[in-house]
């Protein structure tokens, strides 16, 4: 028991917990992205995917609760590491972490993390817990379910812009997070440069793919949905 407590109090233990929970959240993001990309196939395909998720709801609640716990653990241990870093001595350590050589994503980690937390809460209220068959789901008098909710929500330029900003934050956060995870688990043998490139590519891809959805829906709002309403 003491050994376990010492592990979680140690810097290495905290970093590994952050890395493991971070990896779990990234895997969820990839799966969530794969499902969301059904939006490009059309309303029927996307709503079919959404219905399958809804049908899994009793069991899905366990998964969602697990994700919430993982998210909280990730935030808590990240906060502990931030406090440890601020209290660390000598000053050389701080100079190393906040040098001009550190990437923009690294310097913005506390801000992007906070923004992501706010976005997750908003996203859950905005889509997950919203009425998927209410007035907001209607397009030209026809109920399009969750697809209609997205269509009408992202038809608002401010709504779309806020989502895009959040996706940029996620991309930046991931570009450093993936690098940190790989380094925590000893992938340094591949070279710091290669690790950083892979991390940047994955961060840009995931963030960009998510950001493309509100852009695509906003575009559909502007050109009309004649092809989808046939």
Mean pLDDT split into 10-residue runs, the chain, 230 residues: 82 93 96 96 94 86 93 94 78 48 78 93 89 87 92 94 96 93 81 86 96 95 64
Q: Residue 93: what pLDDT?
A: 46
Q: Residue 204: what pLDDT?
A: 95
217 neighbors 155 (Cβ within 8 angstroms): yes
Task: List beta partners, residue 139.
Answer: 142
Task: List beta partners, residue 176.
Answer: none
147 neighbors 43 (Cβ within 8 angstroms): yes
207 neighbors 178 (Cβ within 8 angstroms): no
Domains of the chain with CATH codes: 2-229 (1.20.1300)
Q: Which residues of 160-172 are buried (b: 16+ CB within 10 A; e: fewer)?
A: beebbebbbbbbb
Q: What are the distances in angstroms from CA 49 to CA 34, 117, 182?
A: 11, 26, 32
Q: Residue 4: what pLDDT?
A: 82
DSSP character string of 146-157: HHHHHHHHTTSH
Distance between CA atoms of 145 and 143, rounded to whole angstroms? 6
């Amino acid at each position: 028991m003491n050994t376990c407590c010492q592990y979680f109090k140690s810097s290495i233990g905290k970093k590994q917990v952050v890395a493991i929970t971070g990896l779990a959240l990234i895997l969820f993001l990839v799966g969530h992205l794969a499902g969301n990309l059904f939006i490009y196939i059309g309303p029927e395909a996307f709503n079919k995917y959404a219905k399958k998720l809804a049908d899994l709801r009793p069991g899905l609640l366990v998964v969602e609760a697990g994700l919430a716990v993982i998210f909280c653990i990730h935030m808590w241990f990240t906060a502990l590491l931030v406090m440890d870093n601020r209290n660390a001595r000598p000053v050389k350590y701080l100079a190393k972490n906040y040098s001009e050589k550190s990437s923009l994503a690294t310097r913005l980690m506390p801000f992007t993390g906070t923004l992501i937390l706010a976005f997750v809460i908003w996203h859950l209220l905005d889509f997950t817990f919203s009425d998927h068959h209410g007035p907001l789901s209607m397009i030209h008098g026809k109920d399009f379910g969750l697809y209609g909710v997205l269509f009408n929500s992202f038809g608002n330029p401010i709504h779309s812009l806020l989502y895009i900003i959040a996706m940029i934050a996620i991309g930046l956060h991931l570009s450093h997070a993936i690098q940190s995870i790989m380094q925590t688990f000893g992938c340094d043998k591949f070279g710091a440069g290669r690790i950083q490139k892979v991390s940047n590519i994955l961060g840009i891809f995931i963030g960009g793919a998510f950001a493309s959805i509100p852009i695509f829906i906003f575009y559909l709002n502007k050109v009309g949905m004649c092809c989808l309403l046939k």
